[in-house]
C-alpha cells in the first residue's frame, strides 16, 4: 500500500523508484495514509498553464517526450510538460533508448489523485463534491 501511494519518483530511467519522504514520514507519524505532499501547496500556476495551453489531462498519464523538452526551462513555451515534470507531478516511467523518448506518468497514487482532484473542476462541469467519483472513473479509464 505504501509503495503504490508514495513510491515511484524516477529521475533517470530503469532505476528503483524513490519514495516521497515527506508523505512517508507523516504517514508513520499520524499512523494513516493521507495526501500529505499535495496538501503542502496547491498548483495554481500549473492550472493556469494547463488552461492557457489547452493541454489534454488524459494525455498527462502517458506523456512521451525527449530529454530536450524535460530539461527545458523556457517560461514562454506553450508546452507545460517540462514545468509539470520539474515540479514532481510527472516522473519517468520508461525510456526508449532507440529513439531517445521518455514515457512520463504520475509517480504514485498520491500525486495522481491529488492532481486530478484539484484540476477536474477547472476542466469540466463537475462540481467539487462529485470530484472523487469522477477521479475514480478517470483512473479506471487510464489504467
8-55 confidence digits (pLDDT tens): 899 888 889 899 899 999 999 999 998 888 777 667 777 788 878 877
Q: For 102-111, what is the mean pLDDT? A: 92
Grade residue 131 by pLDDT with cuts at 50, 70 and 90: low
CA pair distance 117, 95, nearest whole angstrom: 28
Q: Residue 42: its pLDDT value, please?
A: 65
Q: What is the mean pLDDT of the chain?
A: 82
Burial class of residue 10 in the structure, from the number of CB atoms within 10 Å of its CB (0-12 exposed, 13-18 middle, 19+ buried): buried
Q: For 101-123, what is the mean pLDDT? A: 84
Amino acid at each position: 500500500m505504501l509503495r503504490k501511494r508514495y513510491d515511484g519518483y524516477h529521475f533517470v530511467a530503469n532505476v528503483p523508484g524513490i519514495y516521497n519522504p515527506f508523505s512517508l514520514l507523516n504517514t508513520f507519524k499520524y499512523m494513516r495514509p493521507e495526501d500529505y505532499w499535495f496538501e503542502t501547496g496547491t498548483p495554481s500556476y500549473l492550472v493556469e498553464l494547463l488552461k492557457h495551453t489547452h493541454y489534454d489531462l488524459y494525455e498527462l498519464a502517458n506523456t512521451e517526450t525527449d530529454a530536450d523538452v524535460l530539461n527545458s526551462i523556457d517560461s514562454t513555451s506553450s508546452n507545460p510538460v517540462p514545468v509539470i515534470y520539474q515540479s514532481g507531478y510527472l516522473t519517468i516511467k520508461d525510456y526508449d533508448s532507440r529513439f531517445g523518448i521518455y514515457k512520463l506518468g504520475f509517480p504514485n497514487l498520491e500525486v495522481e489523485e491529488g492532481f486530478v482532484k484539484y484540476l477536474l473542476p477547472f476542466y469540466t462541469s463537475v462540481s467539487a463534491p462529485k470530484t472523487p467519483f469522477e477521479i475514480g472513473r478517470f483512473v479506471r479509464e487510464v489504467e
